[in-house]
């Protein structure tokens, strides 16, 4: 007999950036089905396989719910008060003995998907007073934020492709069909891409791999890794040379149009053709098509950000949109009007106030590049990191040279993790403090509404009530901050504080004082609209939205002009960017629809099907090495080597191999039973901590020199 649906809970899936609305059908407090919410004004019923796995995370027997202490006899459950006191006393002890910077902090990607963490994690960073703060930002979108700060005055003034109205969509190093849009929140992006073609528009993808997005694009063009900067310079060169620069009203509040023309003058399509692998005639055609389209937008993502010239690439993408008049207009790159506007002066993003101790890498927005984390723990001397706090992160699998980082974590005096799993990183912790999981939490996307292709707002109540011995992440932060202060509040004071300072209270304030507050938008209003509220399409926001001193766009910031010398130093007109001696292939990553973070590999639903942790290689490269499909091959880089199955396919260009990220669950002590059965290998056992975008400090994962041999 089929169970009768007794209740449907509406919320936003928090497993990736897409903000897909979901309908969770319940009976007897049990999840019967998770479906797309067709009444959600943003995602309109779209759903991907990850959302179905929300129930797997909630019910996962490997998920921690009480604090754990690592002992010589294994993990031991302890009480919250004991755990908080032990953490605070050890962190204070180490800082008293060695200084505040002896404690490091790492914030993982899931923090931005969690409203409690977003609103309260700054409190623990402030309480620890350490300059050694790291996050997933510097292995991902740091170049975007860095460029936005220097061009528009604020790190979160990120132009978003108006895909719903564009006529020409130029995509570089991105795979939105797998990501549902990254720094372009777009649940159901396939619908928007098909609509571009249906209205007579064009989609062009530039990528070393013919990805899922390439299959829907009008045109796919292979490009050699690390050479995107040359393509963009040559396209701008063409636009100026052909007299196609038409910034329109943007010229009234843009500095440096003439300076940009001078910067790109040497980079003709003919000069960069060999290095990019793209014919000069193709480069000219793409530039002319882009400039001539009624509306156009250029968008580049991880394939550009995670390379040696990530900052320059994001700068030149903005420049291309600006000089063709495609910034801040319908169908171009636009700025959102979020209901809670966190684009404010205090968070603009300062740069270079301090540097890392060992390599001297500069700080940005209060964080150091995570590529420096291991050396800051391993290098003995004053200022050495001796203790770590990690929050919802697994840097051993997600940051460069994971094996080195593994060693570094193992050598710490003390480590605490705020996490729901014993994973490849948290297995080194002395104490793990597990917060509640997604379905036990209220939800509002503070960041992704800033990055969305359409303005909307949505609040989700918890589906399940947290157990009496569980804590939300924001409650853990509050307890740690209080314990670190050394002052015990009385009972009445503690109760009053708990009632006033909650995520819900802060969200309500943000909504009431936000752009739509005068029209009555509040938390109560959103609670009464469980599917979400439609706030309309993106609108022109400039120059008023700019945070620069004179409210002008800085088209040619000095830092970027100076960094062009680095391109000139490695670029020879007749040569490709060469790999290191002995390493004759270039490694790139790849995104998969059923995977976002490493912990998703512990879901049975997401792990079904064929082995996805494989090495892709072009048939020509396989033949030269006498390799055959499905055999095990060894991939080696300067820092390490891994062995995995080979897939032979012309979806990657010759000279390029590709691996997915987030795998490598074979390390001892990990408690992820599903993931361990299909452990795979970690691409970050090959990526190199010294391989950076020197301008921004972002890790350069794309184009890592490797060699491949038979096992």
pLDDT for the residue 595: 79
Mean pLDDT value across the chain: 94
pTM of the model: 0.96
Distance (Å, whole) CA 395 – CA 401: 10
Question: Quick one: CA torsion of 26, 30, 32, 35, rounded to 10 degrees?
Answer: 60
Nearest to 671 by CA among 87, 78, 113, 70: 70
Q: What integer pLDDT is reported at residue 499 of this predicted model?
A: 60
Helices H / strands E in the chain, number of each: 25, 28
State how far the Cα of 417 lies from the Cα of 427, in Å rounded to an integer. Answer: 9
Q: Which of 260, 279, 262, 258 is nearest to 270 (CA)?
A: 279
Residue among 357, 612, 584, 338 at smallest CA distance from 454: 338
Position 22 confidence tier, pLDDT thresholds 50, 70, 90: very high
Residue pair 362/697 in contact by the 8 Å Cβ criterion: yes
Token digits of residue 311: 């900052």
Q: Residues 354-362: what's their mean pLDDT?
A: 97
Q: What is the pLDDT of residue 288?
A: 98
Vertex 161: Cα angle to 400 and 197 (nearest 5): 115
Q: What is the pLDDT of residues 23-35, one digit of tens each?
A: 999 998 899 999 9
pLDDT per residue as tens digits for the range 511-541: 999 999 999 999 999 999 999 999 999 999 9
The neighbouring-strand residues paired with 457 are: 533
Query: What is the reported pLDDT for 340?
Result: 97
Cross-strand bridge partners of residue 455: 536
Helices (H), 486-627: 491-500, 503-512, 523-527, 558-570, 604-607, 619-624
pLDDT given at position 574: 45
Residue 494 confidence (pLDDT): 59
The fraction of the chain above a pLDDT of 90, given in percent, is 89
SS3 1: coil
pLDDT score at 593: 81
Give strand pairing partners of 641. Answer: 636
Of all residues in the chain, the percent with pLDDT exceeding 70 is 96
- Other CB atoms within 10 Å distance of the CB of residue 587: 24
CA distance 109 to 672: 19
The Cα 537–Cα 593 span in angstroms is: 27
From 345-359, 502-516, 688-702, the region with the lowest mean pLDDT? 345-359
Amino acid 112: pLDDT: 94
Q: Any idea where the domains of the chain sit in the sequence?
A: 68-117+128-139+343-443+461-529, 142-148+158-335+545-565, 579-710
CATH fold, domain 142-148+158-335+545-565, is Dimethylsulfoxide Reductase; domain 2 (3.40.228)
Stated as kind and residue range, the H or E segment containing 134 is: strand 133-135
Query: Would the pLDDT of 641 be above 90?
Result: yes
pLDDT of residue 498: 58
Give Cβ neighbours of residue 383 (< 8 Å, ≥ 6 apart): 99, 101, 102, 357, 376
Question: Would you call 569 exposed, middle or buried from its count of C-beta atoms within 10 A (0-12, 13-18, 19+)?
Answer: exposed
pLDDT-derived band at 357 (thresholds 50, 70, 90) equals very high
Class level of CATH domain 68-117+128-139+343-443+461-529 = alpha beta
User: What mean pLDDT do residues 455-476 have?
Assistant: 96
Q: Is the pLDDT reported for residue 599 higher than 90?
A: no
What residues does 709 pair with on adjacent strands?
A: 634
* CB atoms inside a 10 Å sphere around CB 33: 13
**Contacting residues for 520 by C-beta, under 8 A, at least 6 apart:** none
Cβ within 8 Å of residue 102, ≥6 positions away: 94, 95, 130, 383, 384, 385, 386, 387
pLDDT in tens, 149-167: 999 999 999 999 999 999 9
Please state, in angstroms and rounded to a whole number, the distance separating the CA atoms of residues 278 and 269: 9
Reported residue count of the chain is 711
CATH of 579-710, picked from 2.60.40.420, 2.60.120.380, 1.10.357.10, 2.40.40.20, is 2.40.40.20
Rounded to the nearest 10 degrees, how much is the dihedral formed by the CA atoms of 161, 167, 171, 175? Answer: 80
Of the pLDDT bands very low, low, confident and very high (cuts 50, 70, 90), residue 20 is very high
**Pairing between strand 431-433 and 414-418?**
parallel
Q: Rounded distance, CA 87 to CA 475, Å?
A: 15
Confidence at 493, pLDDT banded by 50, 70, 90: low
Residue 421 has pLDDT above 50, yes or no: yes
Angle between helix axes 503-512 and 115-128 (nearest 10 degrees) is: 110
- Mean pLDDT for 647-661 is 97
């Amino acid at each position: 007999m089929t169970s009768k649906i007794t209740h449907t809970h509406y919320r936003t899936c928090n497993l990736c950036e897409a903000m897909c609305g979901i309908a969770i059908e319940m009976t007897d407090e049990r999840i019967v089905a998770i479906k797309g919410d067709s009444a959600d004004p943003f995602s309109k019923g779209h759903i991907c396989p990850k959302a179905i796995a929300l129930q797997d995370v909630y019910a996962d027997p490997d998920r921690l719910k009480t604090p754990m202490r690592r002992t010589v006899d294994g993990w031991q459950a302890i009480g919250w008060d004991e755990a908080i006191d032990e953490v605070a006393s050890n962190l204070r002890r180490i800082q008293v003995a060695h200084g505040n910077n002896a404690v490091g902090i790492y914030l993982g990607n899931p923090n931005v998907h969690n409203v409690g963490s977003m609103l309260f994690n700054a409190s623990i960073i402030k309480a620890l007073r350490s300059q050694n703060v790291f996050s997933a930002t510097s292995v991902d979108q740091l170049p975007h934020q860095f460029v936005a700060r220097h061009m528009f005055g604020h790190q979160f003034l990120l132009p978003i492709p108006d895909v719903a109205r564009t006529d020409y969509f130029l995509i570089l190093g991105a795979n939105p069909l797998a990501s549902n849009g990254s720094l372009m929140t777009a649940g159901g992006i396939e619908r928007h891409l098909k609509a571009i073609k249906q209205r007579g528009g064009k989609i062009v993808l530039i990528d070393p791999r013919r990805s899922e997005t390439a299959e829907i694009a009008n045109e796919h063009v292979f490009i050699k890794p690390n050479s995107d900067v040359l393509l963009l310079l040559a396209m701008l060169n063409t636009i100026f040379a052909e007299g196609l620069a038409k910034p329109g009203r943007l010229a009234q509040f843009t500095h440096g149009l003439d300076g940009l023309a001078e910067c790109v003058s040497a980079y003709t399509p003919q000069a960069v053709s060999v290095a990019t692998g793209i014919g000069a005639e193709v480069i000219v055609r793409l530039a002319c098509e882009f400039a001539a389209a009624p509306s156009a937008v250029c968008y580049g993502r991880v394939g550009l950000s995670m390379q040696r010239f990530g900052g320059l690439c994001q700068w030149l993408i903005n420049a291309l949109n600006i000089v063709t008049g495609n910034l801040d207009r319908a169908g171009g790159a636009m700025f959102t009007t979020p209901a809670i506007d966190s684009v404010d002066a205090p968070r603009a993003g300062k740069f270079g106030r301090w540097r890392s101790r060992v390599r001297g890498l500069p700080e940005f927005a209060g964080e150091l590049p995570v590529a420096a984390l291991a050396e800051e723990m391993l290098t003995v001397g004053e200022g050495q990191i001796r203790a770590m706090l990690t929050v919802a992160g697994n840097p051993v699998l997600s940051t460069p040279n994971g094996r080195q980082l593994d060693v570094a974590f193992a050598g710490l005096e003390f480590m605490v993790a705020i996490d729901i799993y014993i994973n490849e990183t948290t297995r080194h912790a002395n104490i793990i403090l597990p917060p509640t999981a997604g379905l036990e939490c209220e939800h509002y996307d503070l960041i992704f509404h800033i990055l969305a292709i359409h303005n909307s707002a949505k609040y989700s109540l918890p589906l399940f009530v947290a157990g009496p011995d569980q804590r939300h992440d924001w409650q853990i932060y509050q307890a740690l901050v209080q314990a670190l202060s050394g002052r015990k509040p009385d009972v009445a004071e503690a109760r009053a504080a708990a009632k006033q300072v909650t995520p819900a209270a802060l969200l309500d304030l943000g909504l009431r004082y936000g752009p739509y507050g005068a029209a009555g938008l509040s938390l109560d209003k959103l609670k009464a609209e469980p599917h979400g509220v439609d706030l309309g399409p993106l609108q022109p926001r400039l120059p008023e939205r700019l945070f620069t001193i004179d409210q002008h766009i800085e088209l040619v910031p000095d830092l970027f002009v100076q960094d062009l010398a680095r391109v000139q130093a490695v670029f020879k007109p007749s040569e490709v960017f060469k790999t290191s001696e002995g390493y004759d292939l270039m490694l790139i990553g790849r995104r998969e629809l059923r995977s976002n973070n490493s912990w998703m590999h512990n879901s049975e639903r997401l792990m079904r099907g064929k082995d996805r942790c494989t090495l892709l290689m072009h048939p020509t490269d396989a033949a030269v090495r006498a390799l055959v499909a499905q055999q095990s091959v060894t991939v080696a880089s300067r820092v390490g080597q891994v062995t995995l199955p080979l897939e032979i396919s012309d979806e990657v260009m010759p000279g390029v191999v590709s691996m997915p990220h987030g795998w490598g669950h074979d390390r001892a002590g990990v408690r992820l039973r599903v993931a361990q059965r299909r452990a795979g290998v970690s691409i970050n056992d090959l990526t190199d901590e010294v391989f950076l975008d020197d301008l921004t400090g972002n890790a350069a994962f794309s184009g890592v020199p490797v060699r491949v041999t038979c096992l």
